[in-house]
Amino acid sequence: MQDANQNGIRKVVIVGGGSAGWICAAMASHYFHKTGVAVELIESEEIGTIGVGESTIPPFLQLIRSLGIDEQDFIQKTQASFKLAIRFENWRNKGETYYHPFGQIGGPIGRHEFYQCWLRAKANGHPSNLQDFAPATVMADQWKFIPPVRAQKSLLSGANYALHIDAKLVAQYLRDFAEARGVKRTEGIVTDVVSRPDGFVERVIMKNGTEVSGDLFIDCSGFRALLIGKTLDEEYRDWSDVLMCDRAVVAQTENVKDPHPYTVAQAQDAGWRWRIPLQHRAGNGYVFCSKYLSEDEAAATLLSQIEGEVLLGPNFIPFKTGMRKRLFRNNVVAIGLAGGFIEPLESTALHLIYRGMDFLLRYFPDKDFDPGLAAEYNRRMTMDYEEIRDFIVLHYVTTQRDDTPFWRDYQAVVPPESLRERLELFRASGLLRDGVDDMFRAPSWQSVMEGMGVRPRRYQQLVDAVPYAVIQQTLDQSAPILKAQVAALPSHGEFLAEHCPAAPFQ
């Protein structure tokens, strides 16, 4: 075996300094420490960043912790708030609301999955709702918050949480982190990319004539996709046949009340609107389909529905849903918007960045760029993208709304085969293809299925081994206990003020 150092990657160049660029740079600086790999990041203040991307899922906190960053310091400096769930409004029918919470829903009864026991109870006419047993939902609905580690001995310990973050402040935080660990930042606009005859990128040339060469290039240039798109012309798999929205209009507003500990995703006539409250302001946006609504109409709708004075916007962001066929090609790896985009209904894009860099570290090449590593990287990342696509499509194709052309047309959309299979399996007896590496675990699928009115035809017969009285008693007792435990908690606003008050950068 060759000494890895002789053929190892010496220089990684990250093109782009949005959330993707700085997450990659922070991870690279942390994990490449003492390995002799230099990291240089190029970004252009003139071009700027997309500036959205503010709702996260719990693995985002794993990223922060894995870098050794103090969670409280991070929350204070980025003026973040806590997120326990997404509150879906008007999706199945107008006037209906459901939550997709983080963490567990109930606990096993005997050795049986809670969901199956609950299905049996429903078959027996039990009046409860599934979310009565989800600690994160019960907290979210009452605008309460406590981190589960502080509630170890209560039912609340089954909750989980993520953050609402200010994208610009997070990029700033991670930039400081990465630069302190040796990442070199170069300001300017890349105008040319020089490739070898075999298509491997050799160097990029900037407007001021500076040349930056490297062994491995991470394309974090956003929708511009300078390397993976403009240079390599890698095929884009377009998923707009199943995810019809193609634009967003976004605006930042002042906060008019305490931040709620959930993201609002409210269905609209031609898409959906989000509200993400931070400590110092709120992020808002309307994701819509331009076939059914003009930009002016979308902006007018957004502005008529948001609360508080507008601080920024409205700004328009066009997008095409899909992903590159290969995210890792030659010596280029596309991470972030350069690699693909799925509308932010389940707040998954920042997580895909983390996954993208995590897998790159796992399948890290040497200068031979063994095609097997890139192939495995592409296979794993494609699985993630497709799983997210299916999960998002689920929210639309199960609607019962037919009040606008957009929703009527969605009823005719044929889901991807992988989602059809999942739906069939679920409808049969509430089963899920729950792989170890899946991004969304059973409670996520169960929450959205239940919220959209997709319920299995029967529960699994094995659950009949538990006396029904035991199931009934567990349900009858646990929901009121959980409710009472939540009622005694501080409000989300009080918790933030006491434990993580905003502490801007010095």
Out of 12, 13, 28, 55, which residue is the one contacting ligand FAD (CB under 6 A)?
A: 55
Cα dihedral: 33, 50, 277, 291 (round 10): -140
C-beta nearest to ligand FAD: residue: 18
Q: Tell me the C-alpha distance between 70 and 66, whole Å.
A: 10
Is residue 50 a contact point for ligand FAD (CB under 6 A)? yes
CB of 358 to ligand FAD, least distance (A): 15
- Tell me if 54 contacts ligand FAD by CB under 6 A: yes
Determine if residue 83 is labeled as part of a ligand binding site: yes
Per the DSSP assignment, residues forming a β-bridge with 218 are 14, 333
User: How far is it, in rounded angstroms, from Cα 259 to Cα 256?
Assistant: 9
Q: Does the protein bind ligand FAD through residue 272 (CB under 6 A)?
A: no
Sketch the per residue contact string, 208 through 247, with ligand FAD: x for CB under 6 A, - otherwise. Answer: ------------xxx-x-x---------------------
Show contacts with ligand FAD in window 9-38 (CB under 6 A): 16-21
CA dist 142 and 124 (Å) reads 29
Establish whether 83 is a catalytic residue: yes
The region, left, alpha or beta by phi > 0 then psi within -120 to 50, assigned to residue 399 is beta
Q: How many angstroms separate the CA atoms of 489 and 242, rounded?
A: 42
Selected from 261, 277, 336, 456, the binder of ligand FAD by CB under 6 A is: 336
- Distance in angstroms (rounded) separating the CA atoms of residues 20 and 100: 26
What distance separates the 2 farthest-apart alpha carbons in the chain? 77
384 is an interface residue for ligand FAD by CB under 6 A: no
Pick from 29, 44, 76, 399: which binds ligand FAD (CB under 6 A)? 44
- At residue 426, φ and ψ (nearest 5 deg) are -65, -45
Which runs of E-coded beta strand occur in 10-154?
11-15, 38-43, 81-83, 85-89, 97-101
CB of residue 138 to ligand FAD, shortest distance in Å: 24
Catalytic residue among 11, 34, 77, 83: 83
Those residues with Cβ within 8 angstroms of residue 101's Cβ, 6 or more apart along the chain or in another chain: 84, 85, 131, 134, 135, 136, 137, 140, 159, 443, 447
Contact with ligand FAD (CB under 6 A): which of 9, 29, 53, 334? 53
Q: Which residues contact 70 (CB under 8 A, 6 or more apart)?
A: none
- Least distance in angstroms from the C-beta of 124 to ligand FAD: 40
Is position 49 an interface residue for ligand FAD (rule: CB under 6 A)?
yes
Least distance (Å) between residue 175 CB and ligand FAD = 11
Q: Which of residues 169-208 bind ligand FAD (CB under 6 A)?
A: 189-190
Give whole-number Cα distances, 242 to 69, 390, 410, 452, in Å.
39, 9, 8, 17
To ligand FAD, the closest distance from the beta carbon of 10 in angstroms equals: 22
Q: By rule CB under 6 A, what count of residues binds ligand FAD?
A: 38
CB nearer to ligand FAD: pick between 248 and 482: 248
Q: Number of helices (H) and strands (E) in the chain: give both, helices first.
A: 15, 21
Phi first, then psi, for residue 91 (nearest 5°) are: -80, -50
Give the three-state DSSP class for 324: strand
Stretch that binds ligand FAD, among 3-11, 229-237, 333-341, 354-362 (CB under 6 A): 333-341
Q: How far is the CB of 57 from ligand FAD (least distance, A)?
A: 8
Distance separating alpha carbons of residues 287 and 495, to the nearest angstrom: 31
CB of 81 to ligand FAD, least distance (A): 13
Instruction: State yes or no: residue 319 binds ligand FAD (CB under 6 A).
Output: yes
**Contact yes or no for 253/259 (Cβ under 8 A):** no
Binding site for ligand FAD (CB under 6 A): 16-21, 42-44, 47-50, 52-56, 167, 189-190, 220-222, 224, 226, 248, 250, 285, 317, 319, 336-338, 344, 347, 349-350
Which residues make up each annotated binding site for 7-chloro-L-tryptophan? 83
Which residues make up each annotated binding site for FAD? 17-20, 190, 337
Which residues make up each annotated binding site for L-tryptophan? 346
Which residues make up each annotated binding site? 17-20, 83, 190, 337, 346
Q: Which residues are catalytic?
A: 83
